Amino acid sequence: MEEFTRLPDLASRIFGGGVVYANDEFFAAADHLVDPATPVFAPQTFGHKGQVYDGWETRRRREPGHDVAIVRLGAPGVVHGVDIDTAFFTGNYPPYASVDGCALDGYPDAKQLAEADWVPLVPRSPLAGDSQNLYAVDSRQRFTHVRLTIYPDGGVARLRVHGDVVPDPRLLPAVIDVAAAEHGARIASCSNMFYGHPQNMINPGLARSMGDGWETSRRRDDGNDWVLVQLAAPSVVELAELDTSHFKGNAPGSATLRGIDTRTGLLDDPDDWFELLPQIRLSPDTRHRFPVPVVPVATHVRLDIFPDGGMARLRLYGRPDDAVLRARYEATT
C-alpha cells in the first residue's frame, strides 16, 4: 500500500466532501464516491435499472466521449495521492481514468467549475477492475475541488483523495480545535492501533460508535499506550476534551497530556516536554473537559492512556500561531 494512503481523505464525507456535478448517474449515484465506508456488494440484488452497486455507474456509451464527476473537497489541501477504487465492478469498470484539480474561493456552481482552470493530477491512466487503483501525485498546490473523468463509461466505487489539509486562515476564529484534522492537525505516531486508528480521534463530529475511535489491544505488561499529535500550528492550548463515548468496559483508567515545541526541543528528550494535564482519572462513556493552566506554545501534544483502551475523540482548544497558518496557506495558493 502506498505511503500516501495514511494521510486523510480530503474528499471524504467525514470532512463534508460532496459530489457537486456528474454528467450521468443512470445506474448508480455519484454520491457514493465520497462515502467513507468500505464498498459492499450483494449479488442478485436488482432494482428497476439493474444490479444495485455501491458506487457511481454510468450508462453504456454509444457515441464518442467520456463521463465526469466533480467533487468538492471537504477539507481543501495539498493532494499527495489518489485511490480510484473499482471494488465489485468487474465487467463494467472504466478501462481508463484521469483526475484534475482546481482551487476556487467560495461555493462555485457547476458553470463556474466548468470554466475553472483545471490542473492535471493523474493523467489518463489504466484501471483494473475490482481493485484499488493507487496513483501518487506530485503537487504542492492547494485544491478545493477534483474532477474524475472515466473513459468511456462504467463504474467506480470510491474516490479517495489523500493529502495534507490546508485551511484558509481567513475563515478560522481566534480559538480553534488545534488537534482537529480539518484544521491541519495530524497523527505523528502511536504505540498501538489494534482495534481503531487514532486518526478517528481527530476527525470532525461526535463518534458514532466504539468503532469510530482509537482503541488499542489489551496490555499484558507494565507499560501504557500513547498517541502523538502534530497540531495544526504552534499553539497555546487552553482547554482539553478527552471523550470516551461508547467505550464502557474498555475505557482507559486515566490519562495525561504533555506538550513540546519541536522548534526548540527534541521529541526524544524528556526534559523538553511540559505538562498540560497531570494524570487524571477517566470515566467510561463520558466527554471529559479540563481547563489547561497557562502553558508554553506547543507544536505537538502527546496523550498517554493508562494502561490501554479506547478514546472516541481528542479535542484541544487553543490559539494557533496565525502567521504560521497564513504562511502555509500562501505557500500553496
Q: Is the pLDDT of residue 309 over 90?
A: yes
| Residues 198 and 102 both lie in one domain | no
In a domain, 332, yes or no: no
In a domain, 304, yes or no: yes
| Residues 101 and 10 both lie in one domain | yes
Q: Which of 102, 131, 165 represents a domain boundary (last residue)?
A: 165
| Residues 216 and 317 both lie in one domain | yes
In a domain, 8, yes or no: yes
Q: Is 145 left (phi over 0), alpha (psi -120 to 50) or beta?
A: beta
User: What 3-state DSSP class applies to 324?
Assistant: helix
Q: What is the mean pLDDT of the chain?
A: 96
In a domain, 65, yes or no: yes
| Residues 86 and 138 both lie in one domain | yes
Phi, psi of 96 (to 5 degrees): -140, 155
- The total of other beta-carbon atoms located within 10 Å of residue 17's CB is 24
| Residues 119 and 98 both lie in one domain | yes
Q: What is the mean pLDDT of residues 119-148?
A: 98
Set of cell numbers at residue 178: 488545534
| Residues 79 and 184 both lie in one domain | no
Set of cell numbers at residue 299: 507544536
Q: What is the mean pLDDT of residues 64-82?
A: 98
* pLDDT tens sequence across 225-280: 999 999 999 999 999 999 999 999 999 999 999 999 999 999 999 999 999 999 99
Where is 110: in which H helix or E strand? helix 110-114
In a domain, 154, yes or no: yes
In a domain, 328, yes or no: no
Q: What percent of the chain has pLDDT over 90?
A: 95
CB 73 within 8 A of CB 143: yes
Strand-pair category, 310-311 with 214-215: antiparallel
Q: What is the dihedral of CA 197, 191, 176, 37, to 10 degrees?
A: 0
> Rounded to an integer, what distance in angstroms lies between the CA atom of residue 131 and that of residue 83?
10
In a domain, 69, yes or no: yes
| Distances 136 to 120, 146, 158, 160, 261 between C-alpha atoms, Å | 12, 15, 16, 12, 31
Between CA 267 and CA 169, with CA 203 as vertex, the angle to 5 degrees is: 80
* Residues spanned by the domain of 246: 170-323
> Rounded to an integer, what distance in angstroms lies between the CA atom of residue 89 and that of residue 99?
19
DSSP code, position 28: B
* pLDDT tens sequence across 196-230: 999 999 999 999 999 999 999 999 999 999 999 99
| Residues 24 and 152 both lie in one domain | yes
Phi, psi of 183 (to 5 degrees): -100, 0
| Residues 272 and 203 both lie in one domain | yes
In a domain, 82, yes or no: yes
Q: What is the mean pLDDT of residues 149-164?
A: 98
Question: Residue 86 is which amino acid?
Answer: T
DSSP string, 135-152: EE-----EEEEEEEEEES
DSSP code, position 196: B
Q: Is the pLDDT of residue 295 over 90?
A: no
| Residues 175 and 306 both lie in one domain | yes
| Residues 190 and 137 both lie in one domain | no
Please tell me the total count of domains within the chain: 2
pLDDT of residue 65: 96
Q: What percent of the chain has pLDDT over 70?
A: 100
| Residues 113 and 27 both lie in one domain | yes
| Residues 237 and 267 both lie in one domain | yes
* 1: confidence class by pLDDT, cuts 50, 70, 90: low
* pLDDT tens sequence across 12-66: 999 999 999 999 999 999 999 999 999 998 888 888 888 888 999 999 999 999 9
CATH, residue 141 = 2.60.120.260
Q: Which of 110, 145, 165 represents a domain boundary (last residue)?
A: 165
Q: Which of 132, 165, 198 represents a domain boundary (last residue)?
A: 165
